[in-house]
Structure formats: C-alpha cells, structure tokens
Amino acid sequence: MSLSPDELRELAKFVLLTRPDEIGCDDWLGYAPGYAELVASRQPVPEPLQKAAEHLDLCPECAEEFRALLEALKEDGVS
C-alpha cells in the first residue's frame, strides 16, 4: 500500500490528535442518540457526552452519520 504525501500528512495529524481516553466508533454509536437530541434541542452537553463531540471532530464517517441523525430529528420536530 502506497500513500501520497497528503495522505501521510493527514494520517500523521490524526495520530498526533489521538488521545488515550478517546472513544471509538462503536462507543460513539452508544452515545449518538442522546448526544444528537441534546444538540438538536440546543441543550448543554454534559461532560460525559463531550467525548461524542470530540470523536466527531476526528471521524468523518461518524460525523456524516451524526448529520443524518440530526436531520431525522429535525424532521421529527426535535429542535
């Protein structure tokens, strides 16, 4: 497998941003419904759910799922 210089820079960025207390995608899915409801209703996000927000900053796939979840909540009138 060969990576371009841009891909290597992106990979290095994520390695440097990774922290030992981060959650993974599977854990994020457990937080997603509650976190999305708080965000959609513009309520403060408690400390335990901050990890969900931090994960979205690093994971484009989960961020895309989160946007879809927020859109579904808006369609259901949660906001």
Q: What is the pLDDT along the chain (79 residues), one digit of tens a residue?
A: 788 989 888 878 767 766 667 788 999 999 999 999 999 999 999 988 888 888 998 889 999 999 999 999 988 776 6
Q: Give the number of other Cβ atoms within 10 Å of residue 52's Cβ.
A: 23
Q: What is the pTM of this model?
A: 0.68
CB 51 within 8 A of CB 10: no
Q: What local confidence, expressed as pLDDT, does residue 9 receive? A: 87
